[in-house]
Amino acid sequence: MTFHADHAVGILFAATGGIAVYLGLDYGFGDLSEMGPGALPVLLGTTLSVFGIALLMKATLANAGAAAIALIPREEIRPFLAILAALFVFSLLIDRVGLLPSVVALIGLGWLADKRSRLKELPALTLAIVAIILGIFHFGLGIPFHLFDWSI
Amino acid sequence: MLDFVSSLALGLQVAASIDNLFYCLLGVTLGTAIGVLPGVGPIITISLLLPLTFGLPPEGSVILLAGIYYGAAYGGSTTSILLNLPGEASSAVTCLDGYQMARQGRAGSALAIAALGSFFAGTVGTLLIALAAPAMASVAAKFGSAEYAALVFCALVATASIAKGGFVKGIGSAVLGVLLGLAGADVASGVFRFTFGIAELRDGIDFAVLAVGLFAVSEIITTIGSTGTPELVTSKVGRLWPNREEFRQAWPAVLRGTALGSFLGMLPGAGLAMSSFSAYMVEKSISKQPGRFGSGAVEGVAAPEAANNAASQTAFIPTLMLGVPGSPVMALFLGALLIQGVNPGPSMITNNPQLFWGLVGSMWIGNLMLVILNLPLIGLWVTLLTVPYHWLYLFVLAFACVGVFSIGFSSLQILTLVIFGVVGYLLKRADCSLAMFILGFVLGPMFEENFRRALSLSRGDPMTFINRPISLTFVVLGIAILLAATTSFVRKGAQEAAD
């Protein structure tokens, strides 16, 4: 048996459904005339688990011979890591150094995602994007960002 | 009748104010631009702009977002005809005959037919909203909680049955979305659900953050991985007016496309791509010379373009009058209304006549603007294609991040964005429908509220969903689709297992 993307989805559905039922029972089901906050999580969680198990069964029985499908194809590993790293670093920097340095870091890391990009384009591109972002959010909409924030 | 005229007059008056004209122009321009650019569609654009609409007046934000949506349906045809590159999925079939016409030196005619056909369809669609929405509202006004709960159930099942990736994954994604939509304080009891002790989650998941993470972040990753930058192909536009023969072939096709698209647009899940595709198939099957299709048949451009534009207008009817969106873009639109504190539903016309009729008025004005934007300015849009994707995605990324941060100035929002980016990407890769997920998220709280209220009104008797004729219809329809879809799932599974 090869591991198939449908196995992952089946496990996700079954597990999420199970958690929803468990938590829902804790929140209180109530009864039909006076449903508690846990009623929908229990009902929907059960449904989701049933669908999850059905998918798992089908993936195991029916696709036994099918080739495994990679959840992340090789050519998308680089953009996946680079984009998420860029967002994560932005979230770490934004409260500490202010908007402009954070956006520059975001662009720098995000730039690594595409192997076709050329380094010599990066400075001009960064400048252009920062200018447009500033134009829209800071000057256009007047949202009070801290542009630089070295205080911490 | 007098009522109708005065309502339309009110709408045009609201839409023609300087502010709203500006939002309308901004919307349709953005819509055309993203319609032209492959890799950036209306779903991403509306997600990205959601954080910015917090600050706009309700009319302005609704007019802007609607403009983006039908503008994209319009603009998607340009690149299909000139470059054989559909900017949107709904324009993919326009490539078949539109590009052939362009190769024969009739690009100008094709563009003009697409634009004029779209304008006609858009006008009919707008009139249909103005006529049908009040009628639908008077039906919807009779809906009680049982009917709404049954309607949401039926709509989700029907949409899942044609979802990408199959029914079981589709309905499962919808249930995942519903469960996520329940997170936060329960309205009835005040109990915090699925918050895991995190204080920021008590108000529930922020819709704008979810939409940006799910759609924009995952789309950037897959597009970088899969496509190269399209090469610019120069193509002569030629004479910008169809000749008499082309005109004669086009107008009946436009009429049929408009009728089909108007109908399909109102159904849940059908969407623009399906309406343009079916319009093309209809034209091909009723044509006396089906062989002409694929080598530059005028009807093959006129009908699908009219259909997808008509559908893009009538899709607003169920969204506005029932509060039940049929497609992910409409779900985003509904989310934007809720952010503005506007409750869509039958009472919207009476409670917010400015908003409703203003939107209708702006749609007609917007369609007029689109003809002007698309025909004389065609060269401008083609140059947009020279912007390479590896520049574009960095801008989208920066815009998404700064926009999400501007909602609450909280770095936690960005972390949430990262999480939903991962979730969205993996679901997409596993062939689960993100559209179903967001529909479930938007409809979940509405379903829960009505489901609980219906049962509490009937003192716990589940027969309340069956004793009422409208509710019974939705329940029977929903269960029939559910049974048909699960039977086919089981049968297919058994067959593959036997092989």
Averaged over successive runs of 10 residues, the pLDDT of chain A (152 residues) comes to 76 93 88 85 94 88 62 85 94 89 93 84 92 86 77 52
B488 touches chain A (CB under 8 A): no
Portion 416-455 of B in contact with A at CB < 8 A:
417-418, 421-422, 425-426, 429-432, 447-448, 451-452, 455
Quick one: pLDDT at residue B179? 93
Residue ranges, chain B, pLDDT below 50: 229-234
Query: What residues form DSSP beta bridges with B192?
Result: B185
Structural domain including A127 reads 74-140
Do the Cβ atoms of A5 and B429 come within 8 Å? yes
State residue A63's pLDDT score.
60
A5 in contact with B, Cβ within 8 Å: yes
Radius of gyration of chain B (CA): 23
Between CA B458 and CA B146 the distance in angstroms is 10
The answer to whether residue B457 neighbours chain A at the CB level (below 8 Å) is: no
Closest of A54, A71, A34, A32 to residue B175, by C-alpha:
A54
Q: What is the pLDDT of residue A46?
A: 95
DSSP labels for A115-132? TT--GGGHHHHHHHHHHH
B220 touches chain A (CB under 8 A): yes
Structure tokens given for B168: 């079981």
Question: Is some CB atom of chain A closer than 8 A to the CB atom of B185?
Answer: no
Count how many Cα atoms sit within 13 Å of the Cα of residue B224 in the half-sphere of its side chain: 31
Q: Which pLDDT does position B232 carry in this prediction?
A: 45
Alpha-helical (H) ranges within B185-339 are 207-211, 218-226, 244-266, 271-286, 299-314, 316-322, 328-339
Is A30 domain-assigned? Answer: yes
Distance from the Cα of A76 to chain B's closest Cα (Å) equals 5
Domain regions of chain B by residue span:
2-498
| Last residue within a domain, chosen from A39, A62, A85 | A62
Task: Please give the Cα distance from B166 to B159 (Å, whole number).
Answer: 11
Cβ neighbours for B424, distance < 8 A, ≥ 6 positions apart = B213, B214, B215, B217, B218, B434
Q: A29 at the B interface (CB within 8 A)?
A: no
* Distance of residue B30 Cα from the nearest chain A Cα, in angstroms: 14
Q: Calculate how close chain A gets to B159, using CA atoms only, in Å.
A: 17
How many domains does chain A fold into? 2
* Helix (H), strand (E) at residue B15: helix B2-15
Q: A132: distance to nearest CA of chain B, Å?
A: 9
Residue A32's SS3 state is coil
Q: In this structure, are A119 and A87 located in the same domain?
A: yes
Q: Is residue A89 part of a domain?
A: yes
Residues A134, A107, single domain; the answer is: yes
- Residues A58, A79 within the same domain: no
* CA–centroid distance for A1 within its chain: 29
| Phi (first) and psi of residue B377, to 5 degrees | -95, 20
For residue A82, tell me if it sits in a domain: yes
A145 lies in some domain: no
- Tell me what pLDDT residue B16 has: 87
Bridge partner residues of B185 (DSSP): B192
Give the number of A-B residue pairs with CB atoms closer than 8 Å.
197
Tell me which chain A residues have a C-beta less than 8 angstroms from the C-beta of B495. Answer: 62
* A25 and A48 fall within a common domain: yes
| A39 shares its domain with A80 | no
Same domain membership, residue A52 and residue A15:
yes
pLDDT at A1: 46
- Spatial CA neighbour of B82 closest among B54, B122, B109: B109
